[in-house]
């Protein structure tokens, strides 16, 4: 069109010039004035003179019909032609623009005459062609629309393109926005793929201008309506009211139920009178059920529901004839260190304390007797219907082993028991179920010095024992193991009496002396000064020599021996004989050491000089 207007103006000007030729020109009429006012610039540029009114008319037509093609400006254009690869767009500029059809892939129905938004990238390229972009125009306009929708809270349409980590990708005005999984619906979504390919309404909830990120929400559109519904429904609620609902979500702590736009929670303890480990044992998703309203908070719009309250409390349905002393059967539902809970009827539990599981006075863990799921029979010990408590016992179903304890385990009788556990002061031995006895550490061995019972035996070992004491009222047995055999120290008291001599080797050199082993029971101590040999040297480890017992204590199992006493005893005999002979020869009162030089030297040696 611009080219047509330009050609028309040129023709008009040329026509006027042709029509004026027969007339006398200004150059012919007044040559001097013509030369004086001649426009040499136009002559050099080759521009034909045109009347000012014609130029003004031309400029007015250009202003009305042509756009000011500024760079990076979004304008409206019309599709005037479509080829196999491009769309020709007229934006009322000097020339038309060409846009690849790839930019219109989202609109397969594009046709001649459609108006589209384009961005003027370049007014003229190297070939004088106007460069346009529809894709860039869509992005700019889309961001304007998205920002407006966010600022004004407008509802926008979006196309769910695909799934992504944590949610969905939605096309909004040509911009890829993120739809978090938690913002798809007010209820949890189990099948995300069902939303792919759908066009839905959304609300723009967040825009990050720095990273060009957009977050949309479908849930936000329906929450406002739900809040109004909640207020209306809660306003009509009453405690104790029974409503029908649908299981919406199941968690480890309870079940969320949809009451028709309003959610309520059934805590796990309100699902069943019986103990359960997880709510899915009672309900399943999308299940319809009746629930009773236990409580609600109008300010926070929270509703507490109950399911078990629809049924009579099991304690109220418990057999009225049931009494203390009766036998009942039940299943072990919970085990603690102090006992086990037995469900004797649905919702009715009794506690068997660990002390009521065995006649043994030595308490053990309840897990040693029962496991969860076991069917057990027990006797009712206490029954309180008002407080809904019941205590049970298992041991009462068997005779008390302590009834005839004096005849079965009299003092002095010998038995075989099993080591059950240790203490620092002894060993607990079980003679039979319910009959435990204690062996003090001092009653384990006649000869061995034991610091801890684990040095002598292991848990589970069988030991022969003798009943030492019996306390029927206190239900206590005192046992001994070493009493099975005679005390070998009674025999050793004579064999290793003070003054007796024995041959042995030095076992170890210790502080202040050495030790020697006479046998597997007796280890004697030799003080340092008693290790001296006749030549003045001392015995070393491994040397064999004669030793004289100089101390024997049966009570403390202490034996002390001396080697020096052996040869000193011989010396003492020589001294005594020499003294006796000297006394017979001389009646004067002189000391034994003065008899002669030999005796004096012998005395000095004996005195350690």
The whole-angstrom separation of Cα 216 and Cα 195 is 15
At 85, is the pLDDT very low, low, confident or very high (cuts 50, 70, 90)? confident
The CATH architecture that domain 74-139 belongs to is: Beta Barrel (2.40)
Predicted confidence (pLDDT) per residue in 542-581, tens digit = 888 888 888 888 777 888 988 888 877 665 665 456 556 6
Residues carrying CATH 2.40.50.140, the chain: 74-139, 153-223, 237-306, 326-392, 404-480, 488-570
First to last CA, the chain: 147
pLDDT given for residue 267 in this prediction: 92
| Check whether domain 404-480 has CATH 3.40.190.10, yes or no | no
pLDDT in tens, 231-257: 777 777 778 888 888 898 899 899 998
Instruction: Pick the more confident residue, 517 or 474.
Output: 517
Which runs of consecutive H residues, i.e. helices, occur in 321-457? 405-408
Binned at pLDDT 50, 70 and 90, residue 609 comes out as very low
Binned at pLDDT 50, 70 and 90, residue 42 comes out as low
pTM for the predicted model, two decimal places: 0.40
Helix-then-strand count for the chain, H and E: 11, 30
Compute the distance between CA of residue 416 and CA of residue 320 in angstroms, rounded to an integer. 48
**Contact status, residue 509 vs residue 526, Cβ threshold 8 Å:** no
Q: What is the mean pLDDT of the chain?
A: 78
Average pLDDT over residues 65-74: 55
pLDDT at 6 over 60: no
| 491 vs 493: CA distance, rounded Å | 5
CA dihedral angle for residue 535, residue 539, residue 542, residue 548, rounded to 10 degrees: 100
- Give the mean pLDDT of 268-282: 86
Q: Which two tokens stand for residue 364?
A: 């053990």
- 178-190 mean pLDDT: 80
SS3 231: helix
Superfamily of domain 237-306: Nucleic acid-binding proteins (2.40.50.140)
Selected from 2.40.50.140, 3.50.50.60, 3.30.1960.10, 3.40.50.300, the CATH number assigned to the domain covering 326-392 reads: 2.40.50.140
Q: What are phi and psi of 509, to 5 degrees?
A: -95, 120
Residue with tokens 């030991």: 463
CATH topology of domain 153-223: OB fold (Dihydrolipoamide Acetyltransferase, E2P) (2.40.50)
Average pLDDT over residues 33-38: 68
For strands 199-208 and 175-180, give the pairing: unpaired
Whole-angstrom distance, CA of residue 141 vs CA of residue 289: 51
For 67, the 3-state DSSP assignment is: coil
């Amino acid at each position: 069109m611009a080219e047509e207007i330009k050609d028309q103006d040129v023709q008009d000007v040329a026509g006027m010039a042709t029509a004026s030729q027969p007339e006398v020109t200004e150059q012919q009429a007044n040559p001097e004035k013509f030369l004086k006012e001649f426009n040499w610039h136009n002559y050099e540029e080759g521009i034909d003179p045109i009347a000012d009114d014609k130029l003004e008319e031309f400029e007015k037509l250009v202003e009305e019909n042509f756009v000011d093609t500024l760079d990076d400006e979004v304008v409206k254009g019309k599709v005037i032609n479509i080829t196999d690869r491009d769309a020709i767009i007229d934006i009322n500029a000097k020339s038309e623009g060409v846009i690849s059809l790839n930019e219109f892939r989202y609109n397969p129905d594009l046709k001649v005459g459609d108006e589209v938004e384009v961005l003027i990238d370049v007014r003229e390229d190297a070939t004088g062609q106007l460069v346009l972009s529809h894709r860039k125009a869509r992005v700019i306009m889309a961001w304007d629309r998205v920002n407006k929708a966010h600022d004004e809270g407008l509802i926008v349409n979006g196309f769910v393109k695909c799934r992504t980590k944590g949610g969905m990708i939605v096309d909004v005005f040509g911009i890829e926005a993120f739809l978090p999984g938690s913002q798809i619906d007010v209820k949890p979504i189990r099948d995300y793929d069902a939303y792919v390919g759908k066009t839905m309404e959304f609300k723009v909830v967040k825009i990050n201008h720095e990273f060009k990120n957009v977050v949309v929400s479908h849930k936000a559109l329906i929450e406002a309506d739900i809040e109004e519904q909640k207020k209306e429904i809660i306003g009509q609620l009453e405690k104790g009211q029974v409503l029908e609902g649908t299981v919406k979500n199941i968690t480890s702590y309870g079940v969320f139920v949809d009451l028709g736009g309003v959610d309520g929670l059934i805590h796990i303890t309100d699902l069943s009178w019986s103990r359960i480990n997880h709510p899915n044992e009672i309900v399943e998703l999308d299940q319809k059920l009746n629930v009773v309203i236990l409580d609600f908070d109008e300010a926070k719009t929270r509703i507490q529901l109950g399911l078990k309250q629809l049924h009579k409390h099991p304690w109220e349905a418990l057999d009225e004839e049931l009494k203390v002393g009766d036998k009942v059967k039940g299943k072990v539902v919970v085990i603690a260190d102090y006992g086990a809970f037995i469900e004797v009827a649905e919702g009715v539990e009794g506690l068997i304390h660990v002390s009521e599981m065995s006649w043994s006075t030595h308490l053990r863990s309840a897990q040693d007797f029962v496991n969860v799921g076991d069917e057990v029979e027990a006797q009712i010990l206490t029954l309180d219907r008002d407080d809904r408590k019941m205590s049970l016992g298992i041991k009462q179903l068997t005779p008390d082993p302590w009834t005839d304890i004096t005849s079965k385990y009299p003092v002095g009788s010998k038995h075989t028991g099993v080591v059950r556990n240790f203490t620092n002061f002894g060993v607990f031995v079980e003679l039979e179920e319910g009959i435990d006895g204690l062996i003090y550490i001092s009653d384990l061995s006649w000869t061995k010095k034991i610091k801890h019972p684990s040095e002598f035996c292991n848990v589970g070992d069988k030991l022969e024992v003798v009943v030492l004491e019996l306390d029927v009222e206190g239900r206590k047995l005192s046992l001994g193991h070493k009493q099975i055999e005679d005390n070998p120290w009674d025999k050793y008291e004579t064999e290793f009496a003070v003054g007796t001599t024995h041959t042995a080797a030095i076992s170890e050199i210790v502080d202040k002396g050495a030790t020697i082993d006479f046998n597997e029971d007796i280890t004697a101590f030799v003080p340092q000064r008693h290790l001296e040999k006749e030549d003045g040297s001392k015995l070393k480890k491994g040397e064999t020599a004669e030793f004289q017992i100089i101390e024997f204590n049966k009570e403390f199992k202490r034996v002390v021996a001396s080697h020096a006493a052996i040869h000193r005893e011989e010396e003492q005999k020589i001294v005594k004989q020499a003294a006796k002979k000297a006394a017979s020869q001389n009646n004067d009162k002189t000391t034994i050491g003065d008899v002669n030089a030999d005796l004096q030297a012998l005395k000095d040696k004996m005195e350690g000089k």
